Structure 1
Amino acid sequence: MTLLLYTSISLLILLLAFKLFHQTRTRPKLPPSPPSLPILGHLHLIKKPIHRTFHRLSQKYGKVFSIKFGSQLVVIVSSPSAVEECFTKNDVILANRPRSLIGKHLAYNFTTLIASPYGDHWRNLRRISALEIFSNNRLNMFLGIRRDEVKHLLWKLSRNSCQGFAKVELKSMFSELTFNIIMRMVAGKRYYGEDVKYEEEARKFRGLVKEIVALGGVSNPGEFVPVLRWIDRGGLEKKVMGVSKRMDTFLQGLIDEKRSKDEEGNTMIDHMLSLQKSQPEYYTDQIIKGLILLVKSDAHKLIPFGLGRRACPGAGLAQRTMSLTLGSLIQCFEWERVTKEEVDMAEGIAVVMPKAVPLEAMCKARPIMHKVLSESLHDV
């Protein structure tokens, strides 16, 4: 019996050694990498903000280096020419997306355009978004919404700055501008600032957005060390599941409301429902909700909209909005810093890397303000 036990252990050790030797010989040559720990890989090296950690490591290991998030291999590329090669000539190799809790629960089990694996389903979603949501014709139809919301912003800034310079906090104003434009395009409703007609609904929406942004900035070691998913000490998955159910209920409510009115309006949901009548197999309620999430996402030389086939499909909308907004702010106001000190550009912790300290500035309305508010704004 003892001989059998020792023989079995010896065979097991030999098999493991052979497997390790085979993996070592067949393993592809990887970019340089710092020393790692068992199981954790390089997670112990990651400090926030994460891009600063990557920059520091690139100074030692080069513009292309590899690290391990637990069991998951990650290659960091900071050379512009290498980035271009990765996301143009070779972008099909990198066309998939990592699976995460957010993608599982908030993105309808990885079926939305952002989270879906590269394949036929993703290509169909990309076609729908390009032709039915972000086409030039569709974006031009919503020009009036962009003009109107930028006018709201100008009016809000001018209330206290007509007689002299006034201090304004711009982060919240830009956020309100963005979400009001998007939700008026999607459902025809304003959820931020003045003139909010559906206060209870708006309050729920603002709360959901706040939770999703907070969850998007949370690091979850369980994504990279599978054994930790069974522990989930912080209850992160439960939080994600909870907010995903409430967001799904909210979006379904918007769809049901438009469907019950039985009349075609000029919103994206109306347009999707009209397509649903002729192609119900393509335009299911879940597909429509996933497309709403795409439009609502914060789609933010860096590469702000990505490159290659997985580049942000909403880049055209963002560029139109930014051009009109920035041009209007320069035309209608004089701007100064709050103090003589340089603006603090330190990064905060979130998916889209916001400023740690919200932007404040001094603005003074120019004489042309009254004329601009009384006339139409020209979109770019």
Structure 2
Amino acid sequence: MDLWFTIVAIVFFASILVAKNTKMTKKNLPPGPPRLPIIGNLHQLGSKPHRSMFILSEKYGSLMSLKFGNVSTVVASTPETVKDVLKTFDVDCCSRPYMTYAARLSYNRNDLAYSPYSKYWRELRKLTVTELYTPKRVKSFGHLREQEVASLVDFIKQSASLKKQVNINLKLLKLSASVICRLGFGISLEGSKLESSYEEVIQGIMEVAGSFAAADCFAVVGGLIDRLTGLHSKCEKVFKAMDLFFDEAIKHHLENESIKDDIIHLLLKMERGEIGLGEFQLTRNHTKGILLNILAAGIDTSAQTATWVMTHLIANPRVMNKVQAEVREVIKNKDDITEEDIDKLEYLKMVIKETFRINPLVPLLVPREALKDIKIAGYDIPKKTWIHVNIWAIHRNPNVWKDPEVFIPERFMDNEIDYKGLNFELLPFGSGRRMCPGMGMGMSLVHLTLVNLIYRFDWKLPKGMSAKDVDLEESYGLVCPKKVPLEIIPVITQWT
């Protein structure tokens, strides 16, 4: 984004050369801010588009028109308009526009997240629901989650004995990466081609996938602009590292036929035609595209959720004391924590919901594309219009939430609002046909991790810091991580 204004002249000149004098039929489009020639509203996105769009929506309305270069976009920002997009008109709004770098990362949209709405996508969605992320499969991987969380606990105990601070961001990202490598790819993170670069790769995928690429906004010169800004080279670097890891994991399976309990095994059976995907025969690129979703979404969403929960607990000692009291009362002096124990932790569930509200994992859902001309809230949405759903705006809307900037888990007491896609006031995983199918898998790791961190340790800030000094700023990407790492000092409790 920093180089946009230095290359406007290039865009302007090239656009003049290719401009077509076409006249559109007058439509009742949603209102929106004035646009600059050529670039439209791109200059108004800023470094955190979800926040900028929220500010604009307060002036121009809950359904707002924007123009990003050549791309016509509408932004839905309230539960009512988002419900129209994700439920009422879900089938008409659930396709994906072609996004240059998302297509590259997903092996030409052979995955679930970026594939356009089609028969292939429907078959793949059915597969994920009935085979990859079933409750039975989630439960079957419980021992892997427990082993990796136990390894994290051992590391933190060593740090506590030395009174060393722990970088929570890094440790939770590594935990999530270790779990996903084992259950998704059948290999250990340690010693793999991803070990030295997983943080850079995952962060790079999210930054590239969440970018407003010039290649998508300007048909002729967009690719050149992305090369100048470095977006193209970043995508290629991330893609090559990711592709090497996928090749390694697949080769490991082909050389070890005894590996049968992970997701690659299932996909390779589909490549061989032993399991059907309707009329479609999976190729290696299909397999890798599907693996992208497991790698990126599986690792980053779980890690960032747990990191944000710990951040808000450290920044709110009252809440930390209350949730620790609940966890220690329920678990008591048990060393083994069960799913039945976790189900009883009502206040912890409120803390997680409030974390999702104030720091939604994906503040701007992956854009959708209207499959035909439709009307939403009385406005015309022409076919091919990109549709952005601003989850961050809903979660911070003072007309929806009282004191939306304040972390108050108790707001969910005696409140049936949940995050599973049925309540449009709280949508961290989206809703409708495009809702994240791996929610259950991710949340099982989040719960187990948090209960162990809260139950087994007390936590102190480095000397000279107090709760009010904890930084709550996010970095922007498809998933927004904490900008400044949370570094805190563990203290082993009497419970362990």
TM range (shorter): 0.7 to 0.9
Q: What is residue 284 of structure 2 aligned with on the other side?
A: 285
Cα RMSD for the two superposed structures: 2.5
Gaps of 5+ in 1: 1-15, 370-380
1:217-271 deviations in Å (ceiling 9; x for gaps): 5542232122222524425335534543453343133212211223343222123
Deviates more, 1:271-280 or 1:299-308: 271-280
- What is the TM-score when the length of structure 2 is the normalising length? 0.64
Matched residue of 2:166: which SS?
Answer: strand
Q: Secondary structure at the match of 2:491?
A: strand
Task: Report how far residue 118 of structure 1 moved.
Answer: 0.5
Any idea what SS the aligned residue of 1:160 has?
helix
- Equivalent-residue separation in structure 2 for 1:330 and 1:249 (angstroms): 37
Could you tell me which of 250, 267, 270 is aligned with 1:272? 267
Q: Which residue of 1 aligns with 2:254?
A: 259
Q: Per-residue displacement from partner, 1:251-292 (whole Å, max 9, x unpaired)?
A: 133212211223343222123333444147534322222221
Give a deviation string over 1:117-148, Cα, whole Å, max 9, x none.
00101011111111221111111111111111
Amino acid at match of 1:202: E
Task: Judge which range, 198-207 or 300-309, deviates more.
Answer: 198-207
Deviations 1:58-84 (CA, angstroms, capped at 9, x unpaired): 222122211111121221222123212
Equivalent residue for 1:320? 444
Q: Please say if residues 106 and 288 of structure 2, whose CA atoms lie closer than 8 Å, have aligned partners that are also in contact.
A: no
Distance (whole Å) between structure 1 residues aligned to residue 201 and residue 156 of structure 2: 27
Map 1:1-380 to 2 at 5 A. Answer: 20=23, 23=24, 26-162=25-161, 166-191=164-189, 196=190, 198=191, 202-203=195-196, 208-216=201-209, 218-232=211-225, 233-234=227-228, 236-241=231-236, 243-277=238-272, 278-279=274-275, 282-298=281-297, 300=301, 301=357, 302=395, 303-338=427-462, 339-342=465-468, 343-369=470-496
Q: C-alpha distance in 1, partners of 2:200/2:458? A: 34
Q: Structure 1 counterpart of 2:208, which letter? A: L
- How far apart, CA to CA, are the structure 1 residues paired with 2:224 and 2:159? 53
Amino acid at match of 2:261: N
String of CA shifts for 1:164-209, please: whole Å, max 9, x gaps. x653220001100111111111223232xxxx2x255633656544
Offset at residue 116 of structure 1 (A): 0.4
Residues in 1 aligned to 2:457 and 2:259: alpha-carbon distance in whole angstroms: 39
Q: Does the residue aligned with 1:38 lie in a helix, a strand or coil?
A: coil
Instruction: Classify 1:276/1:221 alpha carbon distance in 2 versus 1 (closer, same or farther; 3 Å).
Output: closer
Q: Which letter maps to 1:228?
A: V
Aligned-pair distance for 1:307?
Answer: 0.8
C-alpha displacement at 1:354, in angstroms?
Answer: 1.3
Range that drifts further, 152-161 or 211-220: 211-220
Higher Cα Rg, which structure: 1
**Higher mean Cα deviation, 342-351 or 146-155?**
342-351
Paired residue secondary structure (2:221): helix
Q: Residue deviations 1:304-359, cap 9 Å, x none?
A: 21111001111111111111111111111123444224221112132211121112
Taking a change above 3 Å as real, the CA distance of residues 161 and 295 of structure 1, as seen in their structure-2 partners, is: same
- Give the residue type in structure 2 aligned to 1:340: S
Q: Tell me, yes or no, if the aligned pair for 1:182 and 1:295 is still in contact at 8 Å.
A: yes
Residue 204 and residue 162 in structure 1: after superposition, are their counterparts in 2 closer, same or farther (change >3 A)? closer
Structure 1 residues 88, 219: closer, same or farther in 2, change over 3 A? closer
SS in 2 for 1:334: strand
Runs of 4+ in 1 over 4 A off after TM superposition: 204-207
TM-score normalised according to structure 1 size: 0.82
Report the Cα distance in structure 1 between the residues aligned to 2:153 and 2:240, rounded to whole angstroms: 37
Letter in 2 for 1:72: V
Shift of 1:113: 0.7
CA distance in 2 between partners of 1:330 and 1:298 (Å): 25
Any stretches of 5+ residues in structure 2 without a counterpart? 1-19, 302-356, 358-394, 396-426
Percent identical across equivalent pairs? 29
CA distance 1:207–1:41, shift in 2 (3 Å): closer
In 1, distance between residues paired with 2:259 and 2:176? 25
Q: Please say if residues 166 and 364 of structure 1, whose CA atoms lie closer than 8 Å, have aligned partners that are also in contact.
A: no
Distance in 2, Cα, partners of 1:208 & 1:167: 25
**Aligned position for 2:416:** none
Rounded to whole Å, the distance in 2 between the matches of 1:141 and 1:236 is 39
Counterpart residue type for residue 33 of structure 1: G
Contact 1:264–1:271 (8 Å) recurs in 2:
no
Q: What amino acid maps onto 2:239 in structure 1?
A: S
Structure with more contact order per residue of length (Cα contacts < 8 Å, sep ≥ 6)? 2
**In structure 2, the residue corresponding to 1:227 is in which secondary structure?**
coil
Distance 2:485 2:124 in 1: 35
Structure 2 counterpart of 1:327, one-letter code: V
Secondary structure of the corresponding residue to residue 473 of structure 2: coil
- Kindly provide the amino acid, as one letter, of the partner of residue 132 in structure 1: E
Of residues 201-210 and 176-185 in structure 1, the stretch that sits farther from structure 2 once superposed is 201-210
- Please tell me the residue identity of whatever aligns with 1:175: L
Q: 1:136 to 1:355 in 2, by over 3 A?
A: same
Change over 3 Å in CA distance of 1:200–1:118 after alignment to 2: closer
Secondary structure in structure 2 of the residue aligned to 1:298: helix
Between the aligned partners of 1:230 and 1:81, the Cα distance in structure 2 is: 37
Relative to 1, partners in 2 of residues 1:62 and 1:205: Cα closer, same or farther, differing over 3 Å?
A: closer
| Secondary structure of the structure 1 residue equivalent to 2:112 | coil
Q: How many residues align?
A: 343
State how far apart, in whole Å, the 2-side matches of 1:52 and 1:230 are: 27
- Report the 3-state secondary structure (helix = DSSP H, G, I; strand = E; otherwise coil) of the residue aligned with 1:65: strand
2:180 is aligned with what amino acid?
I
Given the superposition, is the C-alpha separation of residues 134 and 33 from structure 1 closer, same or farther in structure 2, using an over 3 Å criterion? same
Match of 1:8 in 2: none
